């Protein structure tokens, strides 16, 4: 009897999951093999390359040091906002030695229009001092050394490695994280684990371009709240392609009741 109850409960749970998936407008798909998923992600990568052929870094910079500073400033900010403050910052502090001698208040004054400017000013000053003390003022070229710098995590390091040193790497930001999950390429939420999953699916020569194109696609098409599924170039490979229709259906407004008119009697 207990065994039958457990079996029935399992069936009920599965049916409930199916019904919930149906209500969300998301198709239930059979589990992909690693080979099938790799084939699909390569098709996605090829389409992204056709859609966004130019993957140059949008942050204005003239050298690797400036790129490092700009990427550190870009956390929770737009590239346009960063590009407004960096010209004066780089004019005053053109290298790590100059920036290491600046006070955090001086740096704050130049970047205060950016989010988290106080924390960023501290990280920039500490990072510049590390570059001077440990790397003769030069930006290191390995993941291990870059991630030892203040304010530099794997995301920032992969941008530097990919654009400055042509070292392949997956850059996982909020857009890459969201799209990787929507596309069914990972179930992970931790950026390091997402990076690992994507690394397994793609050859190294595609890592840098794929992640940067995915980020662009997230900014322009696959938005967090209202993804443009109808205009998405990746639609045919996306298991979440019904998400926009499902979301709009849930947010449909109910008609207002005309309470006032109900209280007014027609003239006799």
Residues catalogued as catalytic: 155, 173
Token pair in block for residue 84:
């407004």
Query: Tokens 């098709």 sit at which residue?
Result: 43
């Amino acid at each position: 009897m207990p065994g039958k109850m457990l079996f029935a409960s399992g069936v009920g749970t599965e049916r409930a999951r199916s019904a919930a998936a149906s209500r969300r407008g998301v198709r239930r798909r059979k589990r992909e093999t690693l080979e099938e998923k790799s084939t699909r992600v390569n098709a996605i990568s090829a389409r992204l390359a056709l859609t966004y052929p130019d993957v140059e870094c949008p942050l204005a910079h003239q050298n690797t040091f400036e790129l490092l500073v700009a990427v550190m400033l870009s956390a929770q900010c737009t590239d346009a906002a960063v590009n407004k403050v960096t010209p004066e910052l780089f004019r005053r502090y053109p290298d790590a030695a100059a920036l290491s001698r600046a006070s955090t208040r001086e740096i704050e004054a130049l970047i205060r229009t950016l989010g988290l400017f106080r924390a960023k000013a501290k990280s920039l000053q500490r990072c510049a001092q590390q570059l001077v003390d440990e790397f003769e003022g030069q930006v290191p070229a390995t993941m291990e050394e870059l991630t030892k710098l203040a304010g530099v995590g794997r995301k920032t390091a992969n941008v530097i490695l990919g654009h400055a040193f042509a070292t392949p790497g997956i850059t996982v930001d909020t857009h890459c994280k969201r799209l990787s999950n929507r596309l069914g390429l990972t179930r992970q939420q931790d950026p390091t684990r997402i990076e690992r999953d994507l690394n397994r699916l793609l050859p190294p020569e595609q890592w840098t371009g794929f992640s940067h194109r995915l980020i662009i696609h997230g900014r322009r098409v696959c938005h967090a709240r209202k993804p443009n599924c109808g205009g998405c170039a990746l639609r045919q490979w996306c298991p979440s392609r019904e998400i926009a229709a499902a979301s709009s259906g849930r947010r449909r407004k109910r008609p207002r009741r005309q309470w006032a008119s109900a209280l007014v009697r027609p003239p006799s």
